[in-house]
Structure 1
Amino acid sequence: MPPFARFMAPAFAACAILFWTPHADAEKLTLMTGGVTKIIYLPVTLAARLGYFRDEGLDVEILSEPAGVDTATELIAGAVQGAVGFYDHTIDLQSRGLEVESILVLAQSAGLAELASTRVDTPMRTMADARGRKLGVTGFGASTHFLTRYLAQQAGLAGSTYTIVPIGPDNGFVDAMMKGSIDAGMVEEPTASRLLAANAAQVLVDMRSIEGTRAALGGPYAGSCLYAQRKWVAAHPDQTRRLVRGVARALVFISTHSASDIMAVLPKNFVGDNEALYRQALADMIPAFSRDGRMPDGAPQTVLGVLAAVDPSIVPRHVDLARTYTNRFADEANVVSGH
């Protein structure tokens, strides 16, 4: 089911409320992430844990959905003010006549890895081996869905030659890989490291770093970001400014602290039982986080090119990339912080 078909069906029953401490005089805002424990969405969690939203006079409630496509659904339905997900959703939504924009870029990599299960009879070695295989994604319409299709296409495979299986993130994904019920799948950290450490998977395509993403997708990229409906941003510039400023401070924190320092701020359930594994996964991801929250030059064009390659309904000449992001609030935040 395409994302836009579900825009008026809020799915709060499936949500988890992660952080929300009411403050008497603060303005209430609600954000939704496509899986709050994923390292790629860490800046928003840190902004809440470090009190940066409170410093801005904001009372920010953070909700979590299994996949970014669900986050986009709730944003368009007006159930939340901001979404934390992949930049590609802004382009996909605009192609369907829905105006949203990235107001702060969190990561300059896709932050994803395509892993092959080692628990099947004949493990895949490259994406060209996907013919006749089952490929796991977090959900239909999710970024993992279209990027999986793109990688298969680049390997010369038509969409009809393999099967896409939506399995969600985290434990559901791990279970599917461990049991060999899928041949390969695309997932974020720290789940990728859990599977690799258990020798249940091997890397087919690594897009967790900036360099790996560029090699796989052909240019500079924007992965996770904070985005909102353009009409909401236009009507609430002050709240947007303060929201961005809070998350931008978290980006600075990430760039100036070690993985151990960052972990000390996080809830225990984020880190899990294997602290060493999480620490290494986080340390490897830190360089991919943006330092200033600005859209990387050329990234919108790369993302559009990848999307259009697998979805004929997205016609590049009909997409106005300038309306899918703004650097205005990031620039203002950087001036205030001195960066």
Structure 2
Amino acid sequence: MRRFLALTTVAALALAGCRGTSPDDAAGAGAGDTIKIMVGGIDKVIYLPAKLTEQLGGFKAEGLDVQLLTEPSGATAENVLISGDVQGVVGFYDHTIDLQTKGKCITSVVQFADVPGEVEIVPATSTITSPADFKGRKLGVTSSGSSTDFLTQYLATKGGLTSADYTTVKAGAGQTFIAAIDNGGIDAGMTTDPTAAKLVSSGKGRILLDMRTEAGARQALGGLYPASSLYMDCAWVDSHQAQVQKLANALVKTLRWIKGHSAEEIAAKMPAEFAAGDPALYATAVHDSIGMFNGDGLMKEDGARNVLEVLSQFSPNVKGKKDQVDLSKTYTTAFTSKVAG
């Protein structure tokens, strides 16, 4: 009995030692553990590839246990990544640049889109015809410090205005944004589909600037502006390369799937509640935005530089630090370039 107990104790200690020295376990997520990903608004069409990958069974096909969580704002989502509560965020790429100036190394591992996928929308009866008319107006953004905040400032500046000429208002997304347009809480605002589709179809709003296409983004922003992406902590990526490759495999395959299917087919794969009781309108929202997805998950270098240019003018954290930012650390194509065709 004593010999049996001794052997059992040695085996238990050896097993515990193995667990304690595993790089994956030490980093908080082993090969078989759940990978938590926070999405900055899971029902937004700009982030559709994340949920669609789950719906298509892409994560499971790669042997991954992925849990998708949601926060209404990308600025909020990044906080849970920094705190270590999640392993990744589906949000705008520009957060990786902003966070680097705070001493955080965050990198985009899969780039969903080369353009923001946002629209600037105004009430249908508004007299606003360009950003030059933003003077004295209340401009809706998702939240202070969000990507929509920086882009709104950029548009206003291109219109010849200064930050003293207008007021930014936290308008959120979805019903809160619609209510803000409806009750005069904002005079214009930046949002995405399906919110934009609901406002236009109801006759309550009209699109002033459309950044859901490359042509529209170049016209509004002077170039590409890579946005929706999966970004993760650099240290986690380095210590979990097998899992990150599997995530890239699943997401890039979904991006390719999107390119080969209609908006109606894509919308039909999404959870019924995303349509909010109007499948036709949701399909329209998907149709209006799917052109933003790049199909390969790769970052375009000139797009990354343009994002830095915008942030260096309007992000309080990036102003004056443009030359200190190492763009090569804010994204990687190492995983997406290896996804089999």
> 2:222 aligned to 212, 215, 218, which one?
218
Q: Shift of residue 32 of structure 1?
A: 0.3
Deviates most, 25-34 or 324-333:
25-34
With 279-288 and 188-197 compared, the bigger mean Cα shift is at 279-288
User: Matches of 1:217 and 1:302 in 2, distance apart?
Assistant: 9
2: CA distance between counterparts of 1:161 and 1:80? 39
Shift of 1:232: 0.6
**Residues 105 and 223 of structure 1 are in contact (CA less than 8 Å); yes or no, is this contact kept in structure 2?**
yes
Alignment of structure 1 residues 191-230 onto 2, 5 Å: 191-230=195-234
Letter in 1 for 2:72: P
Q: Does the residue aligned with 1:241 lie in a helix, a strand or coil?
A: helix
Q: 1:326 aligned to 320, 326, 332, which one?
A: 332
Please tell me whether residue 86 in structure 1 is matched to residue 85 in structure 2. Answer: no
Matched, 1:27 2:5: no
What does 1:234-313 align with in structure 2 at a 5 Å threshold? Answer: 234-311=238-315, 313=317
Give the conservation status (yes or no) of the 8 Å contact 2:145–2:315: no
Partner of residue 173 from structure 2, selected from 150, 169, 172: 169
- Whole-Å separation in 1 of the counterparts to 2:129 and 2:94: 28
Q: Which amino acid aligns with 2:131?
A: M
Identity of aligned residues (%): 42
Instruction: Determine the C-alpha separation between the residues in 2 that align with 1:311 and 1:240.
Output: 29
Name the CA distance, whole Å, in 1 between partners of 2:112 and 2:275.
20
Residues 117 and 182, structure 1, Cα contact 8 Å, conserved in 2: no
| CA distance in 2: counterparts of 1:176 and 1:252, whole angstroms | 36
Query: What residue number does 1:50 align with?
Result: 56
Number of positions where the alignment pairs a residue of Structure 1 with one of Structure 2: 309
Q: Does the 8 Å CA contact 2:108/2:331 hold for their aligned counterparts?
A: yes
What is the identity, as a one-letter code, of the residue corresponding to 2:119? A
Q: Distance in 2 between matches of 1:210 and 1:303?
A: 14
Aligned residue runs from structure 1 range 57-68, under 5 A: 57-68=63-74
1:311 & 1:68 partners in 2: Cα distance?
Answer: 15
Alignment gaps of 5+ in structure 1: 1-24
- 1:100 aligns with 106
The alignment partner of 1:136 has SS state of strand
> Aligned residue for 1:148?
152
User: Is 1:36–2:52 an aligned residue pair?
Assistant: no
| 1:184 equivalent in alignment to 2:191 | no
Q: C-alpha distance in 2, partners of 1:123/1:115?
A: 12
**CA displacement at 1:133 relative to structure 2:** 1.0
Where does 1:66-145 land on structure 2 (aligned, <5 Å)?
Answer: 66-118=72-124, 123-145=127-149
Give the CA RMSD over aligned residues: 1.4
| Matched letter for residue 161 of structure 1 | D
Report the residue type matching 1:118 in the other structure: A
Paired with 2:291 and 2:208, the residues of 1 have a C-alpha distance of 21
Cα-to-partner distance string for 1:281-332 (whole Å, 9 max, x where unaligned): 2123222201110002311111011111213541210110011000000011
Code of the residue aligned with 1:307 in structure 2: it is: L
What do the CA deviations read for 1:137-165 (whole angstroms, capped 9, x no partner)?
Answer: 11111111110011001101110111111
TM-score scaled by structure 2? Answer: 0.88
TM-score (norm 1): 0.88
Q: What SS does the aligned partner of 1:253 have?
A: helix
Please state whether the residue corresponding to 2:335 is helix, strand or coil. helix
Q: Secondary structure at the match of 2:258?
A: helix
- The 3-state SS of whatever aligns with 2:301 is coil
* Contact 2:182–2:204 under 8 Å retained in 1: yes
Shift of 1:220: 2.1
Kept in 1: contact 2:212–2:291 (CA 8 A): no
Alpha carbons of 1:250 and 1:89: their partners in 2 closer, same or farther (altered >3 Å)?
same
